[in-house]
Amino acid sequence: MQSDSTPSQVAAVVFDLDGVLVDSESVWDEVRKRFTEENGGHWHEGAQRDMMGMSSVEWSRYVRHRLGVQMEPERISAKVSDRVAELYRERLPLLPGAVEAIRALAAKWPLGLASSSNRHVIDLVLEEAGIADAFRATVSSEEVGAGKPAPDVYLAAAERLHVEPSACVAIEDSTNGIRSAHAAGMAVIAVPNPDFPPDPEALELADASLDSLTELSPDLVLKSAA
């Protein structure tokens, strides 16, 4: 619960998952690439960037219609996400400072999570990392109308937290994620992934930019919302 000493302009903090808490972009990229090639599709180098931020509904349709995998999108999504979950059970690629940042901010504000991952993948990551109890609300973009860069998933997170989006600070890494949180009316702290950096135009929308989650602190959250 928010303490009396915490300024009212921040009511909650909403985290992205992939690329922020877990170093997962390369995992999803490799699994989707291998799945596409094993099932008669045609992978191209721009596919990974195209699919960043898409909901599972959107990227599975992309794999079918743009990459040529002749399989129903629902089955594509299930098979790919199950393989990602399997790899996470073997080794969860948590990013440095992720657990510490979550615990530090959860002591000050309610936390939400707005992710493009499938629901069962979200739940698995939070349980494996031992931080499921830190989040008041989690939303998968498969549960809303449109994936990032549309604001739907962040608006849903704010609604489930019972706060106004304008009183939230989002923690994001990608072009589509930053645009999504910004479109929802949230302040944004960017933690760019050096392997998949956001576009400069998107990064300009962020209120602060960090090299690592190890730099994230309650004071920085307050400054970003000022």
Instruction: Specify the amino acid at residue 105.
Output: L
Active site residue 16: yes
Considering 16, 29, 173, 207, which one is annotated as catalytic? 16
Q: What distance in Å separates the CA atoms of residue 152 and residue 69, rounded to the nearest whole number?
A: 28
Residue listed under structure tokens 């992309």: 62
Q: What distance in Å separates the CA atoms of residue 84 and residue 30, rounded to the nearest whole number?
A: 10
Considering 4, 18, 23, 50, which one is annotated as catalytic? 18
Residue 180 CB partners (closer than 8 Å, separation 6+): 53, 114, 148, 149, 150, 151, 152, 153, 154, 172
Active site residue 18: yes
Q: How many other C-beta atoms can be found within 10 angstroms of the C-beta atom of residue 55? A: 25
Q: Catalytic residues, which ones? A: 16, 18
